[in-house]
Structure 1
Amino acid sequence: MTVIDFTAFIGRLATAAGETILPFFRTSLSVENKNASHDLDPVTEADRAAEAVMRRMIKQNFPQHGIVGEEFGSEREDAEYVWVLDPIDGTKSFIAGMPIWGTLIALMHNGAPVFGMMHQPYIGERFSGDNGSATYQGASGKRKLSVRRCAALADATLFTTSPKLMKPDDRAIFERVEDKVRLSRYGGDCYAYCMLAAGHLDLIIETELKPYDIAALVPIIAGAGGIVTTWDGKPAQHGGRIVAAGDRRTHEAALKILAG
């Protein structure tokens, strides 16, 4: 099967997840902390319900496929095709009522991400990509995504979800890059990566990411002409310390600092 054979199904997955999540958004829902320490790692009924819906649909349609999800773990990780799911990427934004969270759906083939989608059902936007091209679909219609040119860090707009999520040593290295850019902003979660693919910002640097945080975003950024790797220049789909850029020159300049 080709990626094209899965695109309609991926759209149905996104729709089902969105329909499950939206009744919970901006309501007084209960929040559980998955982190045993004082740091908040929230999960809600919406997260679990949406992932359960997607898992059920995948098993019904492709029982031979594997699934990796944030809430319910992994099944058949060694399968030829594996789905990587994050029902609500940006749960902290979700519980704060901020519409910059999204459902991330990645399709992996032999360990590499071949298609990714970010669905934001409240705004009604979808960003998708297959490494060769990327597309936006929303209230303003449908269009191709393309990153923008940015020759130097001094011209770049940089995003990270929060430096406080980084370990102290990584935060210090991040700040060396931050000191060189034109503009630095915090927040955005998965939405920031889609804005990079759409050509509205230039650089994203984060740490401690899991596969389900990034796998779906790799084909979107690559399809829009950008690049996303780990800080040491390796493939990003397994998570860790991540740097994404619209222009390879900006990416290279950031890597020199991050790897140094």
Structure 2
Amino acid sequence: MLTLSLIGIGCGDPEQLTLAAIRAINAADLVLIPRKGAAKSDLADLRRLICAQALTNSRTRVAEFDLPVRGTAQEHYRKGVEEWHDAVAVTWSRAIAAYLGHDGRVALLIWGDPSLYDSSLRIARRLDPLPMIEVVPGVTSIQTLCAAHALPLNDIGELFLVTTGRRLREVGWPSGTDTVVIMLDGVAAFQSLDPNGLHIWWGAYLGMPEQITMSGALAEVGPGIVAARQEARARHGWIMDSYILKRVS
């Protein structure tokens, strides 16, 4: 029987690993590290560092494989995502078969937590043969962002909403809440909002040595965040960021 462990590893700081994550890494027969091209080599480097620091079982092998590149077309977004998930599932299945076969325990180290804006669980259920799936939760970027700003996410007795930059651009400010968490935003979608009365807490490369944070009234710090994003993306070749917006009186 093949078991696939999806192990949340936090947002870039190896010290965010839980004891359960360390145990799961060492219980695996194989740890697979995905490569996403030279522009995102930092992500593979971090997974290698985690294995070097956390892995003490000499019987656990570590192997690497290349992920297929996701298309950039904006039309038929959901269909494009589904096709990309299918391609990734085929790649996972081939890598597992090549390095482990159809019996044993294989682990994938998942950025943040597998439950939050991550496709690993959906992809895992497309594998052939279908493995038994177990999940080890990890620290999310939302938690890391709040910690970086020493910020309580929700006001007393109030709701908050987690959504994407795409939805913020298309729908605008969600009704029924004064606090919004934005993830997967490639174009600083807060620029589409009227900044008056909004406060932002922003962070990029959270948990990593390259971490950047900025906060303040959106009208005042928004342009600086846009400039910081552009400069950081040019320097690193990639960026992962998230932010919290609150209506303030």
TM-score scaled by length of structure 1: 0.29
Normalised TM-score (structure 2): 0.30
Task: Looking at secondary structure, tell me which structure has more strand per residue.
Answer: 1
